[in-house]
Chain A
Amino acid sequence: MLFKPRSIAVFFRILVTALALTATGLIVLFFLFLVKESVPVFQAEGARFLTGGDWWVGESYGAGPMIFGSAVVTLLALAMVLPFALAGAVVASEFLSPRLRWAMKSLMELFAGVPGIIYGLLGVGVLAPAVKDFFGLIDGNTLLTAALLLGLMVFPTILTLADDALHAVPGKYRDQAQGLGLSRLETVRAVVLPQARAGLLGAVFLGLGRAMGETIAVMLVIGGRDQVPSPWYNLFAPGQSIPSKLGREAAEAVGAGLHWNALLGLGLVLFLMVLGVTVAGQLFLNKGRAT
């Protein structure tokens, strides 16, 4: 007997551990790589890398406009879509029959999987011309267009997660509130929403994280101009987000020179932004589930 059950068990254990550590090791390696490769640009530019408004390959690398663009576009997207997504979640969780709720959630999960490139195509073919004509602009590729598109993209994600959070509030709270004479809607406002607060925040943060990292759809409609618009709140101006910048310039710079380091520096900034938002969101979600 060459292979005793015992030796198989030991072998399996080693195999599982090794594979698990391979994956974990790769992930950690990725992050270390990102940090290591972006060090030179921080050495060359210092804090100006984050605040500088001028990105001109070979001369200066200021990520300000990209950071600004990413922040504005994602926050705007969220602000526009949140009322609708929350309304949808309340309706689905509190007022729909289990069957209808299941149908709606399935539909949302289907939509949450729609690839970014499909939204990009819709952005180029439908949304950008519509924005141009509706607002009478000379061109439809603007920060607003990108935000609208992102809003559409994260709508199903936020709705599904928010619905989960609301649904996790135990039924007994609702029964008690209604026993006190509150109507169903008052119950939602006074009891369910406050109870689900952590879970809802989690949904919002995860949606924000998803929007922040989207590359292709944004790249196609944001205009690609590395400048903070003037005045800065002019949303009808073109701009640039970090992922869009990476998507457009990476191929030109791969593996060579300060330009590459600068792009990875941008990547690091993006990574930290998304990581913060995602981890916060996950912690909120877990907290929401625990209560």
Chain B
Amino acid sequence: MSFADYAFRQYLDGDKNAFKIIINEFHDPLIFFINSYVKNVDTAEDIAADCFAELIARPHKFGFKSSLKSYIFSIAHHMAVDHIRKYSRLSLIENESQFVADDDYSTIEESMIKDERSRRLHDALPKLNDNYRTALMLVYFEGMSYAEVAQSMKKSVKQVDNYVTRGKTALKKILAEEGFQYDE
């Protein structure tokens, strides 16, 4: 059981402060993850709050069948995709060029993207299809295992493996087109 899982167990046992630990643990990675979909930090933050609220209001849905991290990223993925579907119809989603990161988000981004190589990868991710992007984000930026990603995406481990492999191939092609040099 991870530290976050343990904290959630304590929260369910009545320790209300334990939820602060969970928020602190997942606040930045969630916003970073959601922002890769919605391209708006405020919206990403709002959806992240929705994810935590879901965890508080409907704790029985979690049931400790997977890790809390898998579960909360699963919620985040679904909410982000729902948001895009909903607002793309209304043409309200802001395109990438309109997005200006504030200082707080820059700090988050810096903590998530350690080097230039990772930044190039991150910037190229939105060009991939949804499943490849989600799998790569969770594996390479959140450090989740294939099994955890599979639980989060509600896919099999084999499918996740395929997504990662094909995602990397597609990413390689995109980066090559952009003139990125990488070591084999």
**Chains A and B belong together in one complex:** no
